[in-house]
């Protein structure tokens, strides 16, 4: 029997926690034992989540695999499918397909410094990169994380990141936080407590705080589309070569496997499908593929 | 390649035999247009047809279809795909070459079961054609099908010169040995002369040399705006294209609210939603970006072949009469 | 039209707690609603007040039918003369003594969560929308033209192949290309596609096919008079040919 890649596999919700007004953390476990054995994924990859009767949406893994058949997701409620996901209970059944996409080249980056730049929900896929790098700590040099939020209320994975803010250096990574709302009380007190690592402004402001060695640093970016241009500008100023700047892109997706065409970008000389050629691309790719960022 | 001859008077008997290989579909004239429809005998077909509005791709990547059903109570996704044997009779070379392109996406990369299974269950019988003023397959080298069919018929005065393109085709030919003849020297000469003559019948030409670069260089060109003003964003150009493969997916729930089905239908990058993501951001917000994307997609390479076979459908069926070849000539600076 | 759903309607009603369905039942409660379906255009101050009240009381407000979406046929003469002129013409008086407003769709006055266009609406589309709502999510809205449905059904293109004055390229799909499927050109009963319609080109195309401007203008305005681009276009045409238009 030929495999039907479009047919979702059943999985059940094992955890569902409210993180912010619009984001939820979900842990999902696939039902089929055989599938659980082989179900593995890399940082930067995504799965297609199906809700019966509503539809499908691509969601990134926000962790590395710690248990067979289990995947962590962080979902923002923005539309039909994501809203339905938010209303699921523990034990509810969903369908999943994947993992899809290329993911970050974690091996290629071994032996270098890592600079992770996340804006808003972009921190979800980068969390899996961070987990991977911390688990394989010896393989990387310095690990630095920039996380930009608008307000305290929109901060994801708060406990984890507080911990990194306070104890990150001991755990092996330098964690920086930026916030945009200068009147946000909680953020102000965070800044007072960790003035070295927390400041008011957009995420690119954090570049003031570090010294970057462009020869052996890989930058990894994920955030809202407008963020890319500014972060790339900063990195280019600091001489980080385009092929060492990685970013993960978002486009409309209906299949995840290079068929439905929605995620198409580029021009005659370079057509790319974000789902199968990406979602991780380098800035070099962006320079050679029109309409990428 | 093996070559045989099918005398004209045996065409119907041949079609009868094909029926044993599955439902036979052929080009049928309906009103002012042509469509591949189920046929009972060769007389129902219009083999001299110019082009069908909807290409034979529809047999493999259906215009709309159910992918599977689901049931929330039982917690199941159920495949409903059924195997069906079909014969598609009378496909033109451009459409055969288009199917080869579709195969690269739908079979060679992560195979799509629906498409692949239907391809495997189909017999493809090609048929030689004569170009009209919209055909420019000649420029793309797709006016001849070197492979991609089981049998290919070229019309001769008193019969058909048949090329046998696959084992499946060969098996059919051996079943109908009493209907066919060996080709003779005179048949070969007639076939060659017809092909020479056909080469000269093309009136529309498009220079595709360097087209990928020309498109990239025209990315900011005014040409997109000019045609976007004329364009309706109606999607017809993509929906009739034999090499367009975009599809959309929706779920429908039944009255019991517990079960339902997932459907897919062909989609078009000329439609607003194609580049729209949640929250209202559209990566191709106006017809300018959409038109540009369409032409760049068609004019990009997939393993050395362009994603267009020059069938002319997009020009013929554009309600606004936007001429595909004219646009590309402007892109090249020829107009 | 909804009343024509017969069997489906009965099944459907078993899932709904109908509070006010003026045409179908006499139950008429002024309570808070999960979903309000509103038909008809707003054409009086009183109607507007009722609409605002319904909006306040309902979580989801759905406009059904062209009248509620666009203002529909009643709006055909909008922009052509002021309400005053119209009153004078019809009643020989200038006061607006019926509190009459220029007929407009609901979204001109209140937030509308979903629009199901059509005159009449397509029952399958309506059914799917209600099922979606009952299932707990907002139905997906169609925002592409009728041509798409023609192609998906492999219907002959009446505009291209027969030169008929089909409005399909600018009209929102959802009827499954009912008319073209019957060989009848689309008259636009579902209204134009919001922010997307290329009305100027429809005029060009139909002119090229030999139809005169007045005919085309009336055709475009029949269901789409309140639609920005069509309104602009017809104003322009009127300036060009005051009074009559056409050949
Ligand atoms: C590679 C990738 C990874 C992603 N990872 C996450 C994540 O970890 N967490 C998260 O909350 N969101 C993520 N998104 C975005 C998420 O997929 C969309 O928010 C979601 O598809 C919206 O679907 P909806 O049905 O709720 O919205 P609607 O607006 O109702 O969208 C309808 C349909 O359009 C398509 N669509 C709409 N927006 C998008 C979009 N932004 N990307 C892709 N398809 C879209 C989907 O098929 C969707 O079902 C990711 C997107 C991509 C492409
Ligand atoms: S782009 Fe036009 S000419 Fe080329 S294959 Fe498609 S329909 Fe035919
Ligand atoms: S031209 Fe448009 S519709 Fe056709 S395959 Fe490319 S992206 Fe899809
Ligand atoms: S068929 Fe013509 S009008 Fe319709 S989207 Fe294509 S180019 Fe535009
Ligand atoms: S018949 Fe009308 S709606 Fe159908 S494709 Fe032609 S123009 Fe479009
Ligand atoms: S999501 Fe379908 S091609 Fe990329």
Residues of chain B with a CB closer than 8 angstroms to some CB in chain C: 30-33, 35, 53-54, 58, 63-64, 229-236, 239-240, 250, 252-255, 257, 265-266, 268, 271-273, 287, 316-321
Chain B: list its partners (3+ Cβ pairs within 8 Å): A, C
C-alpha distance from residue B105 to each of A276, B68, B112, B135, B263 (Å): 12, 21, 9, 24, 20
Say whether B319 and C156 touch across the interface (CB within 8 A): no
> Residue C79's pLDDT is what?
54
Output the CA torsion sign for C234, C239, C244, C245: negative
Ligand 4 atom nearest B270 alpha carbon: 5
Say whether C138 and A80 touch across the interface (CB within 8 A): yes
Chain C: list its partners (3+ Cβ pairs within 8 Å): A, B
- CA of B232 from ligand 4 middle (Å) equals 6
Query: Per residue in C56-100, pLDDT tens?
Result: 888 888 888 888 887 766 655 555 555 555 545 555 555 544 456
Provide mean pLDDT across the span B69-90: 94
Whether the pLDDT of residue C55 is over 50: the answer is yes
Give chain B positions within 8 Å (CB) of A94.
none
Provide mean pLDDT across the span B196-219: 93
H or E, element range at C91? helix C83-91
> Residue C142's pLDDT is what?
87
CATH 3.30.1370.100 fits A113-242, yes or no: no
| Least confident piece of the model among B259-268, B305-314, C48-57 | C48-57
> Residue B280's pLDDT is what?
87
CA distance A208 to B280: 33
CA distance B226 to C80: 31
- The closest alpha carbon to B138, from B206, B57, B50, belongs to B206
Q: Which residues contact A30 (CB under 8 A, 6 or more apart)?
A: A9, A10, A11, A36, A39, A69, A70, A96
Domain with CATH 3.40.50.700 in chain C: 2-134
* C44 bridge partner residues: C100
- How would you class B94 by CB atoms within 10 Å of its CB: exposed for 0-12, middle for 13-18, buried for 19 or more? buried
Ligand 1: residues with CB < 6 A are: A 46, 55-60, 74-76, 78-83, 121, 124, 250-254, 279; B 277-278
Report residue B17: phi and psi, to 5°: -65, -40
CA-based max dimension of chain A: 62
Side-chain half-sphere CA neighbours of B236 within 13 A: 31
More confident residue, C232 or A158: A158
> Residue C242's pLDDT is what?
45
* B35 bridge partner residues: B28
Query: What b/e string do you get for C142-172 counting C-beta neighbours within 10 Å, with b at 16 or more?
Result: bbbbbbbbbbbebbbbbbbeeebbbbbbbbb
- CA of B268 from ligand 4 middle (Å) equals 10
| Least confident piece of the model among A26-40, A128-142, B278-292, C81-95 | C81-95
Instruction: Say whether B134 sits in a helix, a strand or coil.
Output: coil
CA distance between the termini of chain B? 43
- CA of C150 from ligand 4 middle (Å) equals 14
CATH 3.30.70.100 fits C2-134, yes or no: no
Ligand 1 atom nearest A250 alpha carbon: 53
Say whether B232 and C159 touch across the interface (CB within 8 A): no
- CA of C167 from ligand 5 middle (Å) equals 7
Model pTM?
Answer: 0.91
C109 falls in which pLDDT band (50, 70, 90)?
Answer: confident
Say whether B251 and A52 touch across the interface (CB within 8 A): yes
Structure tokens of A17? 């926690």
CB B81 within 8 A of CB B117: yes
Say whether C160 and B231 touch across the interface (CB within 8 A): no
* A46 bridge partner residues: A60, A100
> Residue C85's pLDDT is what?
59
Instruction: Say whether B114 sits in a helix, a strand or coil.
Output: helix
Ligand 2 atom nearest B309 alpha carbon: 5
Query: Per residue in B124-149, pLDDT tens?
Result: 999 999 999 999 999 999 999 999 99
Whether the pLDDT of residue B201 is over 90: the answer is yes
C247 falls in which pLDDT band (50, 70, 90)?
Answer: very low
Query: Per residue in A209-266, pLDDT tens?
Result: 888 899 999 999 999 988 999 999 999 999 999 999 999 999 999 999 999 999 999 9
Determine what percent of chain C is predicted with pLDDT higher than 90: 21
CA distance B322 to B317: 9
The pLDDT mean for chain C works out to: 77
| Least confident piece of the model among A177-181, B166-170, C140-144, C169-173 | C140-144
C-alpha distance from residue B170 to each of A253, B120, B181 (Å): 42, 16, 14
Q: Closest Cα to atom 8, ligand 3: which residue?
A: B246
Q: Which residues contact A269 (CB under 8 A, 6 or more apart)?
A: A288, B212, B213, B215, B216, B300
Question: CATH second-level architecture of A9-100?
Answer: Beta Barrel (2.40)
The pLDDT mean for chain B works out to: 95
Contacts 24+ apart (CB under 8 A), C126-134: C126/C1, C126/C2, C126/C5, C126/C64, C127/C5, C127/C8, C127/C12, C128/B252, C129/C62, C130/C12, C130/C16, C131/B252, C131/B253, C131/B254, C131/B255, C131/B257, C132/A53, C132/B253, C133/C35, C133/C60, C134/B257, C134/C15, C134/C16
Of B77, B275, B278, the CB nearest to A82: B278
CB C137 within 8 A of CB C129: no
Structure tokens of B82? 């059924």
Provide mean pLDDT across the span B86-101: 97
Provide mean pLDDT across the span A204-208: 89
Strand duo A143-149 + A113-119: pairing: parallel
Ligand 4: residues with CB < 6 A are: B 231-237, 270, 318-320, 322
Say whether C170 and B250 touch across the interface (CB within 8 A): no
Ligand 6 atom nearest A258 alpha carbon: 3
CA-based max dimension of chain C: 57
Strand duo B181-182 + A217-222: pairing: unpaired
- The closest alpha carbon to A112, from A96, A147, A83, A136, belongs to A136
> Residue C72's pLDDT is what?
64
> Residue B188's pLDDT is what?
96
Say whether C148 and B268 touch across the interface (CB within 8 A): yes
* C100 bridge partner residues: C44
Domain ranges of chain A: 9-100, 113-242
Query: Per residue in C2-42, pLDDT tens?
Result: 445 556 655 665 665 555 444 433 345 567 778 888 888 87
Structure tokens of B48? 């001299």
DSSP type of residue B107 = I
CA distance C246 to C110: 37
């Amino acid at each position: 029997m030929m495999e039907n890649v479009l047919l979702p596999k059943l999985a059940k919700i094992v955890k569902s926690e409210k993180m912010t007004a619009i984001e939820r953390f979900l842990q999902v476990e696939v039902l089929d034992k055989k599938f659980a054995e082989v179900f593995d994924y890399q940082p930067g990859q995504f799965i297609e989540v199906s809700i019966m009767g509503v539809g499908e949406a691509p969601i990134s893994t926000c962790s590395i695999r710690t248990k067979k058949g289990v995947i962590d997701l962080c979902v923002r409620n923005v539309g039909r499918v994501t809203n339905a996901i938010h209303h699921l209970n523990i034990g509810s059944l969903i369908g999943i397909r994947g993992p899809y996409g290329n993911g970050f080249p974690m091996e290629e980056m071994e032996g270098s410094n890592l600079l992770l730049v996340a804006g808003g929900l972009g921190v979800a896929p980068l969390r899996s990169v961070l987990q991977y790098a911390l688990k394989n700590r010896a393989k990387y040099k310095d690990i630095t994380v920039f996380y930009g939020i608008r307000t305290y209320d929109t901060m994801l994975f708060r406990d984890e990141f507080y911990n990194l803010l306070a104890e990150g250096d001991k755990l092996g990574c330098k964690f920086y936080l930026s916030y945009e709302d200068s009147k946000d009380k909680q953020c102000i007190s965070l800044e007072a407590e960790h003035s070295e690592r927390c400041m008011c402004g957009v995420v690119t402001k954090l570049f003031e705080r570090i010294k970057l060695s462009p020869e052996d640093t890989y930058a990894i970016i994920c955030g809202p589309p407008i963020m890319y241009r500014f972060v790339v500008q900063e990195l280019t100023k600091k001489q980080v070569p385009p092929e060492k700047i990685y970013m993960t892109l978002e486009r409309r997706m209906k299949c995840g496997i290079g068929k439905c065409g929605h995620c198409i970008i580029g021009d005659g000389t370079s057509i790319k499908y974000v789902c199968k050629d990406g979602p991780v691309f380098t800035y070099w790719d962006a320079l050679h593929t029109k309409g990428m960022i | 390649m093996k070559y045989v001859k099918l005398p004209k008077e045996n065409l119907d008997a041949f079609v009868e035999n094909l029926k044993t290989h599955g439902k036979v579909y052929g080009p049928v004239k309906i009103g002012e247009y042509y469509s591949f429809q189920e046929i009972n005998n060769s007389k129902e077909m219009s083999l001299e047809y110019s082009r069908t509005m909807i290409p034979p791709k529809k047999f493999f990547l259906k215009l709309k279809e159910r992918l599977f059903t689901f049931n929330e109570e039982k917690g199941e996704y159920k495949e409903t795909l059924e195997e069906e044997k079909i014969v598609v009779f009378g496909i033109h070379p451009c459409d055969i070459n288009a199917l080869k392109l579709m195969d690269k996406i739908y079979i060679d990369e992560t195979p799509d079961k629906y498409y692949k299974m239907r391809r495997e269950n189909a017999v493809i019988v090609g048929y030689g054609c004569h170009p009209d003023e919209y055909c420019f397959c000649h420029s793309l080298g797709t006016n001849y099908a070197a492979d991609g069919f089981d049998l290919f018929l070229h019309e001769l005065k008193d019969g058909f010169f048949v090329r046998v393109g696959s084992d499946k085709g060969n098996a059919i030919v051996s079943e109908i040995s009493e209907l066919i003849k060996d080709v003779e020297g005179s048949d070969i000469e007639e076939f060659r002369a017809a092909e020479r003559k056909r080469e000269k019948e093309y009136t529309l030409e498009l220079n595709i040399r360097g087209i990928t670069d020309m498109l990239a260089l025209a990315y900011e060109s005014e040409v997109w705006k000019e045609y976007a003003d004329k364009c309706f964003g109606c999607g017809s150009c993509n929906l009739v294209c034999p090499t367009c493969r975009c599809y959309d997916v929706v779920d429908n729930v039944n009255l019991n609210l517990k079960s339902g089905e997932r459907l897919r239908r062909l989609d078009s990058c000329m439609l607003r939603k194609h580049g729209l993501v949640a929250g209202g951001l559209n990566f191709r917000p106006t017809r300018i970006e959409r038109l540009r994307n369409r032409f760049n997609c068609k004019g990009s390479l997939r393993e050395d072949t362009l994603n267009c076979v020059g069938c002319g459908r997009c020009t013929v069926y554009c309600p606004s009469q936007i001429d595909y070849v004219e646009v590309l000539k402007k892109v090249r600076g020829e107009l | 039209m909804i009343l024509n759903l017969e069997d489906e309607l009965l099944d459907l009603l078993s899932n709904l707690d109908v509070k006010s369905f003026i045409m179908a039942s006499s139950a008429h409660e002024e309570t808070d609603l999960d979903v309000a379906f509103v038909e008809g255009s707003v054409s009086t101050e009183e109607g507007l007040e009722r609409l605002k009240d319904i909006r306040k009381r309902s979580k989801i407000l759905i406009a059904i039918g062209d009248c509620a979406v666009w203002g529909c046929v009643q709006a055909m003469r909008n922009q052509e003369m002021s309400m005053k002129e119209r009153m004078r013409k019809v009643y020989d008086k200038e006061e607006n003594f019926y509190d009459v407003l220029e007929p407009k769709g609901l979204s001109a006055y209140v937030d509308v969560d979903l629009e199901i266009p059509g005159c009449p609406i397509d029952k399958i589309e309506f059914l799917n929308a209600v099922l979606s709502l009952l299932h707990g999510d907002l139905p997906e809205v169609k925002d592409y033209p009728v041509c798409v449905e023609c192609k998906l059904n492999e219907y002959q293109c009446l505009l291209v192949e027969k030169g008929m004055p089909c409005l399909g390229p600018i009209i929102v799909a959802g009827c499954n290309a009912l008319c073209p499927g019957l060989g009848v050109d689309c008259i636009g009963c579902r209204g134009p596609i919001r922010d997307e319609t290329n009305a100027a080109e429809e005029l060009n195309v139909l002119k090229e096919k030999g139809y005169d401007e007045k005919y085309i203008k009336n055709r475009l305005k029949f269901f789409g008079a309140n639609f920005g681009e069509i309104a602009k276009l017809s104003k322009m045409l009127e300036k060009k040919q005051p009074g009559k238009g056409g050949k």
